[in-house]
Structure 1
Amino acid sequence: MIRGIRGASTIAYDNPELVMQETKNLMERIIRDNEVLPENVASVIISTTADIVSAFPAKAVRSLPKWEYVPVMCTHEMNVPNGLPLCIRVLVHVNTTVPQNEIKHIYLNEAVKLRPDLTK
């Protein structure tokens, strides 16, 4: 069965190194906390707020060991008034037998405000 694992993080300002670093940190936490193997991943969708334009976060995912063949796509998030700025969101589609209520969604930095119900 395919399950979605959500995650999000923020950066201090739009900078290619920060985009890469925070995307990699977020993905490493998702991978570790959910014991994700790249061969079980169907795809990854990454969105950024419109104020992030300096780099493609997908490049950070493809730089992870054995993740170079996982389909990854980037897009911009809806530009909603008063939305959280400088935010990177991911949705990992993974084949797993883990029940949906046991999936560990990861929210880092200012993104913990997005889903306080899922942040421990």
Structure 2
Amino acid sequence: MVRAVRGAIQVDADDRDSIIEGTTELVSTLMERNRLTTDDVISVLFTATPDLTAEFPALAARKLGFHEVPLICCSEIGVPGALPRVVRLMAHIETDRPRSEIHHVYLRGAVALRQDIAQ
């Protein structure tokens, strides 16, 4: 079965280290909470708010071992008043778990984006 897992994190600044560190935390937490390995991951779509341009978030996933997983980065639309400096992801995974057992991960300031599903 294919499921989608969502997550987001607000990073401290638009610099390479902040984007890599924040994205690493996001991906690692999502993988741990859902008991996943890279073999379970079909693909990952990363987005970043328009104020994050110093690095591709997917680089963090590559550094974590996502060498054979298709990854892509896109820019979020620039909505006035939206939460700044946010990296989001949607991972497509293979799992037998029902949707009720999927753990979406929203960290730091990004918890405000989805308080209904943030864990």
Secondary structure at 2:7's aligned position in 1?
Answer: strand
One-letter amino acid of the structure 2 residue matched with residue 71 of structure 1? P
Pairwise CA RMSD: 0.8
Aligned residues: 119
Structure 2 counterpart of 1:12: 12
| Unmatched segments (≥5 aa) in structure 1 | none
In 1, the alpha carbon distance for the partners of 2:5 and 2:114 equals: 13
1:101 aligns with 2:100: yes
CA shift for structure 1 position 68: 1.0
State the identity %: 35
Within a 5 Å distance, the mapping from 1:30-45 to structure 2 comes to 30-45=30-45
One-letter amino acid of the structure 1 residue matched with residue 112 of structure 2? K
Within a 5 Å distance, the mapping from 1:80-95 to structure 2 comes to 80-95=79-94
In 1, the alpha carbon distance for the partners of 2:25 and 2:101 equals: 21
Structure 2 counterpart of 1:22: 22
One-letter amino acid of the structure 1 residue matched with residue 2 of structure 2? I
One-letter amino acid of the structure 1 residue matched with residue 95 of structure 2? T
**CA deviation vs aligned residue, 1:44-103 (integer Å, no higher than 9, x gap):** 0000000000001101001113x2111100000111111111000000100101111210
| Unmatched segments (≥5 aa) in structure 2 | none
CA shift for structure 1 position 114: 0.3
CA shift for structure 1 position 118: 1.4
One-letter amino acid of the structure 1 residue matched with residue 106 of structure 2? Y
In 2, the alpha carbon distance for the partners of 1:46 and 1:56 equals: 9
One-letter amino acid of the structure 2 residue matched with residue 98 of structure 1? R
In 1, the alpha carbon distance for the partners of 2:64 and 2:73 equals: 16
Normalised to the residue count of structure 1, the TM-score between the two structures is 0.96
Normalised to the residue count of structure 2, the TM-score between the two structures is 0.96
